[in-house]
Structure 1
Amino acid sequence: MSQTDQSLAAGVCDPDSGVCALPGDSAALPGAAADRPGPGTGLTRITYVTDPICSACWILEPAWRSLTERYRDLIDVRHVYGGLLRGWQGFHDEGNGIRRPEDVAHHWDEFAEISGQPINSSVWHSDPIDSSYPPSIALAAVRLLAPEHEETYLRRLREELFLDGRNIAAPELLERLVVELGLDVASYRRLIDNGEAESEFERDLVRTHELGARGFPTLILEGPDGRVVLHGWIQPERLENTFLTVSGATRRTAVSSLDEATDRLGTGTSLEYAALTGHSVTDVEGLLTRAGATSRPAGRGKAWSPRPRNRH
């Protein structure tokens, strides 16, 4: 495999720009661009070019979840999977000291430190990921099978990897999450085995290049009032302001009720709950503790699972 064809290893990301770039294209990423109008449907379409093992995409989650949970009825999200790691054969990145999977861990630790979003980097030592293509193909299968569950499946993959340090390229894990979502496993297997899911993913790879997305995350926002392209990790306020600019929507307040926040997020990090509610990390951790939520270590931070509530 040539260096041109090889996608960048998962942890080879730039902490300063917050971008996981494809090879040779880091200089080609503009900060933002505003040009032609959006899709004209009244909704704002957000095309999110990403990869399930992209650490820069994971640290975007507080901003992303805060936006999509508060403005869900105004947004049409389309995910495009760009293929961050085809494989390790022949890969080396001398500039970042990356020759082996275990070399990625310190890059993830750097991202966690600068962002405050916890990352469990242990997978690169205990059960290294050989390629991001298998989870991307699984996501394509879920899209074909039950598109309304695609985003939830992507989130669950990210939780398994970045919070629990599990290898999300493992077929048994990919299938287990399909079962957890209540989807038809036989149909999922058929889409994997007959190549339909892989073909769908290959269309995403073509689409990534057509869109000019040479790094992850890339967010293309197209609304009634314009079009803006964002690259890399950005703060919640900037993402919301950009959305309001292209959508013409009225700003909505943060979610004030912790019960509502836990209903919307479910499992989440302290930073994700803070972004959605407008509280500081310290305050939101206190609120979650008093509400009976359970926490577990995730890297140097915490992941929270709310206490189930009785519903009548």
Structure 2
Amino acid sequence: MIDKENKQEKNQEAGSVEIEVYTDPLCCWSWAFEPQWRRLRFEYSGKVKWRYIMGGLIANWDSFNDPMNSVNRPLQMGPLWLEVKYKSGMPIQDKVWYQNPPKSSYPACIAVKAAEMQSPTAAEVYLRKVREAVMLHGKDISDWEVLQKVGHELAKAQPGLLDGEKLQQDMGSKDARSAFEQDLQKVRLHGISRFPTLTIKKAGEENGVMIVGYRPYEALQTALEQVEPNLQPTKQATDEEAYKAYWHDATAREVQEALGAGVA
């Protein structure tokens, strides 16, 4: 298991194409985008490297306003999540906004940066588990105890990937908060206002392509071709169980995408 995680980390840190992913653990469109994003990382394993920038979607509900979706309070988020569920095919627990609404996405963002202090792969897998906690299980990921529990459960499920105790300590550290603040500054500097947003460029070059919002897999392929015309996939998913095992688990929609059957 540890060897597999080390291999995934090497894949994440090596490649001829660099991708920065602006996202937020509480962003429903980022969750909806997981099938396409997972497929890209699987098919171009070893050819691309990536890092996550935490977007800080909701500081608090007193300051949050999303005029595009007419959302400025928790109850209004539920219908948006329901819409995303049906448009994307990804399972989403929209009732969290009626039963257990998160107060902010900042704690989850800081927790992901704390996980990143251990390794990029630890951060990636932890981010996924935090998403699952709210999107699938309706947990309040603005609660530090919930975030700590996610870390401890991950440490137990995948030994050697993450130190749960260290994660808990680092969540309250100045270093994790500083790392998140640096991400926020980058979001503001580049004028990122929608998540997910991906910036894709050839390694060592300044200019590249930006993908904004929920997009089909073909849009990602086109962007990769623009940046590196000679880039070719290293593998294709052909078996459902093998693909699930690669990620430790996957939703039905993610398997559907990986096997080449997009959503209408």
Shorter-chain TM-score: what band?
0.7 to 0.9
- After TM superposition, which residue ranges in structure 1, 4 or more long, deviate above 3 angstroms? 90-99, 251-254
Q: Tell me if structure 2 keeps the 8 A contact 1:82–1:208.
A: yes
Question: What's the TM-score, normalizing by structure 2?
Answer: 0.83
What is the deviation of 1:220?
0.4
Structure with the higher fraction of residues in strand conformation: 1
Q: Which residue is 1:272 aligned to?
A: 254
The farther-off stretch of 171-180 and 65-74 is 171-180
Structure 1 residues 272-291: aligned runs within 5 Å: 272-279=254-261
User: 1: distance between equivalents of 2:243 and 2:67?
Assistant: 44
Question: What's the TM-score, normalizing by structure 1?
Answer: 0.71
Q: Tell me if structure 2 keeps the 8 A contact 1:244–1:251.
A: no
Structure with the higher fraction of residues in helix conformation: 2
Structure 1 residues 1-312: aligned runs within 5 Å: 43-89=16-62, 91=64, 96-182=69-155, 183-223=162-202, 227-247=208-228, 248-251=230-233, 254-279=236-261
Where structure 1 has 5 or more consecutive residues not aligned to the other structure, the ranges are 1-40, 282-312
Does the C-alpha gap of structure 1 residues 93 and 69 become closer, same or farther in structure 2, counting only changes over 3 Å?
closer
1:188 aligned counterpart, secondary structure: helix
1:73 aligned counterpart, secondary structure: coil
Does the C-alpha gap of structure 1 residues 250 and 97 become closer, same or farther in structure 2, counting only changes over 3 Å?
closer
Does the C-alpha gap of structure 1 residues 277 and 92 become closer, same or farther in structure 2, counting only changes over 3 Å?
closer
For residues 70-120 of structure 1, the C-alpha deviation after alignment (integer angstroms, 9 at most, x for no partner) is 212111111001110000125556775534312210011111222222221
User: 1: distance between equivalents of 2:132 and 2:68?
Assistant: 29
User: 2: distance between equivalents of 1:230 and 1:91?
Assistant: 24
Q: Tell me if structure 2 keeps the 8 A contact 1:261–1:277.
A: no
Does the C-alpha gap of structure 1 residues 166 and 189 become closer, same or farther in structure 2, counting only changes over 3 Å?
closer
Does the C-alpha gap of structure 1 residues 273 and 145 become closer, same or farther in structure 2, counting only changes over 3 Å?
same
Does the C-alpha gap of structure 1 residues 159 and 189 become closer, same or farther in structure 2, counting only changes over 3 Å?
closer
Q: Tell me if structure 2 keeps the 8 A contact 1:42–1:223.
A: no
2:185 aligned counterpart, secondary structure: helix
What is the deviation of 1:129?
0.5
1:78 aligned counterpart, secondary structure: strand
Where structure 2 has 5 or more consecutive residues not aligned to the other structure, the ranges are 1-13, 156-161
What is the deviation of 1:199?
1.1
Q: CA RMSD in A?
A: 2.3
User: 1: distance between equivalents of 2:33 and 2:152?
Assistant: 27
Identity of aligned residues (%): 31
User: 2: distance between equivalents of 1:157 and 1:47?
Assistant: 20
